[in-house]
Chains A and B, each alone.
Chain A
Amino acid sequence: MIPELGHFALALACILAVAQSVLPIVGAHRRDLRWMATAGPLAAGQLVSVAVAFGCLLWAFAVNDTTVSNVVQNSHSAKPMIYKLSGAWGNHEGSMVLWVLILALCGAAVAGFGRDLPSALKARVIGVLGWVGVGFLLFIILTSNPFDRIWPPPPDGQGLNPVLQDIGLALHPPMLYLGYVGYAVTFAFAVAALLEGRVDAAWGRWVRPWSLMAWSFLTLGIALGSWWAYYELGWGGYWFWDPVENASLLPWLVGAALLHSAIVVEKRDALKIWTVLLAIMAFAMSLLGTFLVRSGVLNSVHAFANDPTRGVFILALLMIYVAGAFAIFAWRAHKLAPTGIFAPISREGALVLNNLLLCSIAAVVLAGTLWPMFADILTGAKISVGPPFFNTATAPLAIPLVLAMPIGAMLPWKRGDVWAALQRLWWAACAALAIGFFYLAAMGYPVWPAIGMALAAWLVVGASADVADRIALFRRPHQAWQRARGLPRAAWGAAIAHAGMGVTIAGVAGMGIATDTLIALKPGESTRLAGYEWRLDSLTDATGPNYTARRATVTISRDSAVVTVLEPERRTFTVDRQTTTEAAIHTNAMRDLYAVLGEERDGAGVLRLHHNPLAPWIWFGSIIMALGAGLSLSDRRMRVSAPAPKGAAAPA
């Protein structure tokens, strides 16, 4: 009965979404306040229905209702409750319900928090979100019903893929979807503005928090995915340039561009058409990502739903939304006349450069990701494009981007002076060069990691220099505290996010000099790696709640003092007989010691041992980036209805 209720709630949500996609938009067109006023209640109704459907799905997983085929395929009674619940969105059907739940939540949030929005714009935004909702609800109902029953019910389920039974992967989809779906909201704002024929500073002020929110969740989602791959898959790496990973990186890159160009719209009333285009592209990239992950057109190490009909459906949605938005864009964009004028060397100019580089990187990643598919269609050749391509092609674009970041942040609006900015950054440049050369000399001349370290120092010290300059730390130290408190949170946020990027780059550079070894050891034998002695003490059997395991005990010591004892495992899950490797990691924030137990032969255990310098910084830096974006988001000025018209130039 509960699954039928869930199915019914989904259908109801779909009908409400159809109404939501028509009534407010027609109302806004006819200036009919009563029709426009339906937007809020319809969005709320959609949220309630989808929430009920999601609740029913959770219930089915919680009680292990084996008459529901989705539960049978992805759950099992002998599984910890947390993974029973996360199993609800750890599969294609359930994750799509989570997707529309977040979408409905965003629609209701626009309705609820958008009191200051002009009513026509608000009605149109909610209406466009209704279009997106209709498409995805139809997708679920027609191709991926999570409530399908099977009869007779099997005694128990097949279990969730063991590598997915992990807290990192339980949290990864909700984070990622908050990002993806957040771009549905900026997309809705863009299309609504085109329908309206007007983009002004107030519009920029509304799009900016949504793009900040989407971007910070996407950052966390990508970081979680990468962290999960690092500790759970046991291959010792954090990024594979796999199509599925690129699918999440594309909206992140375009979203980062959007985040910056929306500032120009808000502060300077310029770059409007470009920002609208970016908002459409960011959502297009989210949809493209969804398509790539779920259609199985691309060969990826991450298996998901490989179902052509679903792929075609999402491709159709992608076409309809993106082509539709572009048609509206072509028809209406001329209405958005540019007003702000600025010199090439200015904050705006720097943000244009930032946009250009971010979009170029996105274009390169997109080309590399899609090329195998096109090559197959055009020539029949089976090819793959791997990490060497992406590293070679993106580095020449990423380096200028990073070099420009602190300089751009220091330039004033309208007209700037690069020389003056550089003068205030000279000690950041000194620090970068010093660290780069030190690294080069100390670590045995690894060129790329040294460049990475120098860039990281440039970003972190540059961001500190920016803040120090703004609060006049060295010119009037006695007032600095007061000035620091008065500095807008958005300025703090930008500096923190840029510094976070630096921390992540430092982590990547550290991983550039990581070392590893593969060795077969008998208990009692030991090996050396990176100045540590790794001794295999024993190989024992262990049991967990739903698996049995073989466990290696590895004692790591340095200068005959024990550093830590690692216990990597090979687990065999009782239900589906799958084997997984469980890496053991010891971190002290400056480096990870990482051990994986491989197969076992003649009493010897095969061990893969890694020494990963600065590895945790990769994810720590991402968290700092997301926090910076979040701090920006909490800026009081973002919630004030509309900015005062700017007559004079902003103070430098």
Chain B
Amino acid sequence: MPAARRLRGHAVTHKKKRRLMVLLLAGLGLGTATALTLTAFQDNIVFFFSPSDVLANKPSADRAFRLGGLVEAGSVERRTGSDGRPAATFRVTDGAQAISVTYSGVLPDLFREGQGVVTLGRLLPDGTFRASEVLARHDETYMPPEVADALRRAGHWNPADGAAPPAETWNTAPRPGRSGG
């Protein structure tokens, strides 16, 4: 009997030890994952700003961010850069403000004037935006949600009012919020 009890006691401590071990390991894994996530977040999160956001609080030049809005009608200029690569300049507008963007590379197939666009890059000291990437979707009717939100915040169009007005009129159309109409 005493022998059996001792054996049983041994098994229980063993089990407890093992459980503790598993808990410690799991804690370690979770801790490492959290630490990794937080450190990587700090350096690698990319913010989205509309042209109004950018002019309101100029982001520093060492931080990449995404600038989005509509491609201003008549602003697109394609040329060949000094390095032989195709390049383009255009303006991105949210209806309230606009920012000049320079881009070296091929614009995506669905890049059109008056359409929603998201660009990734940095703000130069002269206030222009140098894009390293230009994203347009494989769908002509699609409006990136951030862009829709930026337009709404600029007071130009509320998605609740229905479909967006024709893109060509964006530069000149009066703002419903301000003209009272």
Which residues from chain A sit less than 8 Å from chain B, CB to CB?
161, 163, 296, 299, 301, 303, 338, 341, 344, 352-353, 356-357, 359-361, 363-364, 367-368, 371, 381-386, 388-390, 392-394, 396-397, 518-520, 570, 578-581, 598-599, 601, 606, 608
Contact = CB atoms under 8 A, between A and B. Distances in A.
A353 B37 CA distance: 20
Contacts of B29: 356-357, 359-360
A121 to B, nearest CB: 27
B85 A580 contact: no
A392 B106 contact: no
B14 interface: yes
Interface string B143-171: 01110010000000000000000000000
A518 B105 contact: yes
Contacts, number: 119
A598 B106 contact: yes
Contact of A392 (B43, B78, B149): B43
A329 B156 CA distance: 51
B102 to A, nearest CB: 15
23 contacts: A303-B142, A341-B11, A352-B25, A360-B30, A363-B37, A364-B36, A368-B37, A382-B49, A383-B45, A383-B48, A386-B46, A388-B40, A389-B45, A393-B37, A396-B32, A397-B33, A397-B36, A519-B84, A520-B84, A520-B85, A579-B110, A580-B109, A599-B78
Given A303-B142, A360-B32, 15 more contacts: A161-B139, A296-B145, A303-B138, A341-B11, A341-B18, A352-B25, A363-B37, A368-B41, A384-B48, A385-B45, A389-B41, A392-B39, A392-B40, A393-B36, A579-B109
Interface in B65-108: 66, 78, 80, 84-86, 105-107
Nearest to B68: A382
B145 A299 contact: yes
A390 B49 CA distance: 22
Given A393-B37, A581-B109, A606-B106, A161 B47 contact: no
Identify the interface centre among B25, B29, B110: most chain A CB within 10 Å of its CB.
Answer: B29
A578 B11 CA distance: 70
A392 to B, nearest CB: 4
A301 B139 CA distance: 10
Contacts of A579: 109-110
B22 interface: yes
State the 7 A-B residue pairs at the shortest beta-carbon distance, nearest first: A382-B48, A389-B44, A598-B106, A393-B40, A360-B33, A392-B40, A356-B29
B54 interface: no
Contacts of A360: 29-30, 32-33
Contacts of B85: 518-520
A385 B139 CA distance: 23
Interface of B: 11, 14-15, 18, 21-22, 25-26, 29-30, 32-33, 36-37, 39-41, 43-49, 66, 78, 80, 84-86, 105-107, 109-110, 135, 137-140, 142, 144-146, 149
B78 A341 contact: no
Contacts of A363: 30, 33, 37
B82 to A, nearest CB: 13
B140 A388 contact: no
Contacts of A367: 37
Contact of B86 (A382, A383, A606): A606
B15 A341 contact: yes
Contact of B140 (A381, A393, A578, A581): A578
Contacts of A364: 33, 36-37
A608 B106 contact: yes
B21 A392 contact: no
Contacts of A301: 135, 137-138
B7 to A, nearest CB: 13
Nearest to A577: B140
Contacts of A353: 25
A385 B14 contact: no
A364 B109 CA distance: 34
A359 B40 CA distance: 18
B21 A344 contact: yes
A338 B14 CA distance: 13
Contacts of A581: 109
Identify the interface centre among B22, B36, B109, B142: most chain A CB within 10 Å of its CB.
Answer: B36
Contacts of B78: 599, 601
A385 B138 contact: no
A600 to B, nearest CB: 10
Contacts of A344: 21
Contact of A383 (B33, B37, B46, B138): B46
A270 to B, nearest CB: 10
A353 B105 CA distance: 45
Contacts of B66: 382, 384
Given A299-B146, A397-B32, A388 B43 contact: yes
A25 to B, nearest CB: 32
Nearest to B146: A382
Contacts of A383: 45-48
Contact of A385 (B26, B44, B49, B137): B44
